[in-house]
Chains A and B, each alone.
Chain A
Amino acid sequence: MTYEVIIGIETHVELRTRSKMFCRCTVDFGADPNTNVCPTCLGLPGALPVPNEQAIEWTIALGLALGSAVATRSVFHRKNYFYADLPKNYQISQYDVPLCAGGHLDVEVDGVTSRVGITRVHLEEDTGKSTHIGGDGRIHGASGVRLDFNRSGIPLMEVVTEPDIRSPEVARAYAQELQTIVIALGVSDARLEEGSMRFDANVSLRPAGATELGTKVEVKNMNSLRSLQRALAFEIDRQTRMLDAGERIAQETRHWDEANGRTDPGRSKEESSDYRYFQEPDLLPLEIDEATLARLGASLPELPAARRLRYVDAGVDPAAARTIVSGNLDRLLDDAIDAGVDARSSANWLAGEVTAHLNREGMDAGDLGLDGAGLAELVTMVTEGALSATAAKDVLAGVFAGEGTPRQVAASRDLMQVSDEGALRDMVEAAMAANPDESQRLRDGEERLLGFFVGQVLAASGGKADPGRVASLVRDIASQ
């Protein structure tokens, strides 16, 4: 049978504020365990929360970027459940009056645009981190647990979509676009592998044409965009087989196992949880006034969709524009364009060689040893014919290796194209003199030997000769 896939995604984003959500502790991911803690984020008796205004404003900013309606009055609730890494055994979160409600995100896959509805964007505090000792690091069979509360109380933004997503590819595109927006807003590192951005997906299937939703399964523990897509594909396949076999889908939480490429059932206790939400009495309702909204709206940066459009208008290939924006290479491109070089050529270098380099090294754009001025210099040299495309790749490698600016690298690695007419002519004549037999056959009209001589000259020049000009010189000399 064919089924319709229904996917909704919940995303948690740790905000990069200076201090935690409800106390003054530093937000720092690399610190020794339990060093960034205080009475409040440890849940000591008597300690109280005081909200972080920056976190509230950043959450509103994301809401504005997604076209959400921002509540003029919003409240925090307590979400009650017992867990060792939740110091108060309740989480301060939001319930029926989130900061932002509604909105959408348009994402493109293979030229088709899908609109993903946003249900809500709210703010809460993160939990501490449990490390289970023994039992393969899982809760079951563990002999003990180590707790680190450095993460406890870090501001956490939750973005919930409508069940609008129909394929793993769209899910991935949505996740990537959201990540790009969050980074553009400058509110989070949004590093999936470090957990500062985390996705949970709800997946259900229903027979094509049915109106009633099927039983949903929550999939967790996906640490990359790729694993999000893989996990969903696996889960859809698993559910399809079960439904085809007439089996019932259990409502449960399943964990993605990256190494084995499968989802496994997790704890089943969460399904029946009653979180007994009630308004957090330690905090006053948040009042968001018009002036704050106007200020935040005015200070929103150019969003990824607008940025891509601007690049395409400037002649950039749409696919390259997507790669550049989602890869955070847009500032480099903007700087290069500002320096007066061609947008399309600059974009092609960024989307091609530069992106390949980043992927190969597993680096972020921020770690790159190339700036906009350097990129502009490289593009100019290629456009002017001072560098061959091949040589330019070597130059880039030198720049990445920290050998200097493109011009410096080209000089020190001796990669500038030989453009001196006399020198080239000498090299061609030398090659023809060294191969009298082939030389004669070329003169007799054996055209395919043209390539042979071009290759000889290129080899002799160490790749610095411009092949086009060499070819025309060979023809010229042979016809004399």
Chain B
Amino acid sequence: MSDAADLTIAEAGGRLRDGSLTAADLLDAVRRRASMTEAIIHGYLTIDHDGAAASAAEADAAFARGEDRGRLQGIPIALKDNMVTRGIETTASSRILAGWIPPYDATVVSRLRAAGAILYGKTNLDEFAMGSSTENSAYGPTRNPWDADRVPGGSSGGSAAVVAAGSAYAALGSDTGGSIRQPASLCGVVGMKPTYGLVSRYGLIAFASSLDQIGPIARTVDDAVTVFETIAGHDPYDATSYPGALPDVRTGLTEGVSGLRIGVLSELVSEGVEPAVAAAFQATLDRLAKAGAEISEVSLPTTKHALSAYYLLAPAECSANLARFDGVRYGPRLDGASVEQMMATTRRDGFGPEVTRRILLGTYALSAGYYDAFYGQAQKVRTLVVQEFRQAYQQVDVLVTPTSPTTAFALGARAADPLAMYLSDVCTIPSNLSGDPAISVPVGLDEDGLPIGFQVLGPALGDAMVFRVARAIEELSGFDSRAALASSEGAV
């Protein structure tokens, strides 16, 4: 690669340490790349030029002093704009937070800063992370770097797009129903949702608290591991943060799949999967088998109901989580004859249609007389999903599915049909319900030259196993996303 923007974190880190590149060089490379691609892709909502330059100078000074705070020192990183950043506008892509400057940093942001990373900018998302295409942003959609007429997936579409395009070395996304993995799949990058509780949610603007989890989006599994190691760990500010020892995700990373038991989650590979996706999935299974993995089919019948349960539970939680956006303490405020009127008008104007739809859905699901039939029933499904996964992991080490049934779809194609849009997440939602780790790794392209992702699911705290299998798949598939994008005709 001639352009420093196309290096992996591992490669860039080596260059920083052998002195052939500086953090300022990396920042410059990212800046130049963004200046070429952003006008089309629109992955960023905010770029913190001054802050990034200061961090780069700091990192270079640290290197000069022989100070090394780890693999992310001096590396430009992007943050999904639903993670609060002290002094930097944070909107969650909603009009209702336009102009809001948070007075505090999310825990993941503090951790990245402490590791010496350069926080380059805030990326676009579906408003409040509700969506699968990044079209539900109040600030306009993000486009897929592989084909600007297509969506990057969502809701972390901005993060996935900028990592694919080379305008960040890695990014943080948040995943409530697949919002890291699905856009990673559609943009040909690696996206990982850790076990619920391993990464602090403090400072993540909540969509559905019991499902939300922050995780890395990167160009390689190894880079995703690096970001994971930096952001994971117990946080006393998050009561749901896991208090035990963090899984060691690096030591066994390259041990391969020989002798591992891999289960194909049969309910999620049957219907609605595009032929090219199915073919790439099968080809990967064949390679895994050849590498010594034991492949079997595993049936988890309740996963068929996971999508329906999710679309009751997530909206129910969001209806309460988004109640605080009322114009009283922050964000734009519209006038009203009374305080109640002021709140109602502010909210009606501030939320987009998809967010409004989910708030209404969730409010309804929790209402007296409906609670048992909707929210209560969905909780039962969730419990069953957890049980089925737990049983399955008695038989297999990991489960696998395609990440998304389809490759990137055209902008606007599903915008008018919420149900079709919701189906984008059919393969990713079950592991949010179970709280288990899952990763999407690119394995090839379809006939239109669009990337295809492969999903690996693991048991709770099995993050190391998930990374290890993904790392093996990355190697076995021999698919180099960066090279493919560089030579792609439709690419931006």
Q: Which residues of A contact B (CB under 8 A)?
A: 39, 42-51, 78, 80, 82, 84, 87-90, 145, 147, 274, 276-278, 281-284
Contacts and interface: CB of A to CB of B under 8 A. Distances in A.
B238 interface: yes
Given A39-B104, A46-B202, A80-B366, A283 B326 contact: no
A314 B320 CA distance: 57
Contact of A46 (B83, B316, B328): B83
Given A46-B205, A283-B239, A90 B320 contact: yes
B409 to A, nearest CB: 30
30 contacts: A39-B104, A43-B329, A44-B84, A45-B92, A45-B205, A45-B206, A45-B324, A45-B325, A46-B106, A46-B203, A46-B206, A47-B104, A48-B201, A50-B236, A78-B320, A80-B366, A82-B326, A84-B339, A84-B343, A89-B326, A274-B367, A276-B319, A276-B371, A278-B316, A281-B209, A281-B317, A282-B206, A282-B240, A283-B240, A284-B240
Contacts of B104: 39, 44, 47
Interface string B193-210: 000000001111110111
Nearest to B200: A48
B339 A90 contact: no
Interface of A, helix, strand, loop or mixed by DSSP:
loop
A428 to B, nearest CB: 81
Given A46-B102, A284-B239, 12 more contacts: A45-B92, A45-B206, A46-B83, A46-B206, A48-B237, A84-B343, A87-B328, A88-B323, A90-B323, A145-B339, A276-B319, A278-B375
B237 to A, nearest CB: 6
B239 A49 contact: yes
Interface in B446-471: none
B363 interface: yes
A49 B340 CA distance: 26
Contact of A48 (B238, B323, B326): B238
Contacts of A145: 339
A147 B328 contact: yes
Nearest to A78: B320
Contacts of B316: 278
Interface residues of B, number: 45
B329 A87 contact: yes
A274 B246 CA distance: 42
Interface of B, helix, strand, loop or mixed by DSSP:
loop
B210 A281 contact: yes
A282 B102 CA distance: 21
Nearest to B363: A276
Nearest to B100: A45
A47 B320 contact: no
Contacts of B366: 80, 276-278
Contacts of B238: 48, 50
B422 interface: no
Given A50-B237, A276-B363, A89 B323 contact: yes
A145 to B, nearest CB: 6
A94 to B, nearest CB: 15
A50 B107 CA distance: 14
Given A87-B329, A145-B339, A46 B84 contact: yes
Contacts of A281: 208-210, 240, 317
Nearest to B128: A45
B80 to A, nearest CB: 12
Contacts of A88: 320, 323-324
Interface string B67-103: 0000000000000001110000010100001001011
A88 B317 CA distance: 13
Contacts of B139: none
Contacts of A39: 103-104
Contact of A45 (B102, B236, B319, B371): B102
A48 B240 CA distance: 10
A278 B372 CA distance: 11
Nearest to B322: A89
B324 A89 contact: yes
Nearest to B369: A274
B368 interface: yes
The 10 lowest CB-CB distance pairs between A and B, nearest first, are: A89-B323, A281-B210, A276-B366, A281-B209, A46-B203, A45-B205, A46-B84, A43-B324, A88-B324, A274-B368
B103 A44 contact: yes
B330 interface: yes
A82 B363 contact: no
Residue among A43, A47, A78, A276 with the highest chain B CB neighbour number at 10 A: A276
A78 B317 CA distance: 10
Nearest to B97: A45
Contacts of B90: 45
A47 B325 CA distance: 13
A377 B90 CA distance: 69
A273 to B, nearest CB: 10
A172 to B, nearest CB: 35
A277 B328 CA distance: 23
A44 B206 CA distance: 11
Nearest to B105: A46
Nearest to A275: B368
Given A80-B323, A82-B340, A276-B366, A42 B239 contact: no
A87 B202 contact: no
Interface string B323-337: 111101110000000
A45 B93 CA distance: 13
A335 B240 CA distance: 48
A82 B205 contact: no
Contacts of A51: 239
Contacts of A78: 320
Contacts of A48: 201-202, 237-239
Contacts of B329: 42-44, 87
Contacts of A49: 239
Contacts of A44: 84, 102-104, 329-330
Residue among A45, A46, A277 with the highest chain B CB neighbour number at 10 A: A45
Contacts of A277: 366
A277 B326 CA distance: 20
A364 to B, nearest CB: 36
Contacts of B201: 46, 48
A87 B83 CA distance: 20
Residue among A44, A147, A277 with the highest chain B CB neighbour number at 10 A: A44
Contacts of A84: 326, 328, 339, 343
A264 to B, nearest CB: 20
A45 B82 CA distance: 9
A276 B360 CA distance: 13
A78 to B, nearest CB: 5
A90 B239 CA distance: 18
Contacts of A45: 84, 90, 92, 97, 100, 102, 205-206, 324-325, 330
Nearest to A40: B237
A82 B343 contact: yes
A78 B236 CA distance: 21
B343 to A, nearest CB: 6
Contacts of B202: 46-48
Contact of B323 (A46, A50, A82, A283): A82
A238 B319 CA distance: 41
Contacts of B375: 278
Contacts of B82: 46
Residue among B100, B204, B323, B368 with the highest chain A CB neighbour number at 10 A: B323
A284 B435 CA distance: 14
Nearest to A79: B320
Contacts of B102: 44-46
Interface in B273-295: none
A84 B330 CA distance: 12
Contacts of B240: 281-284
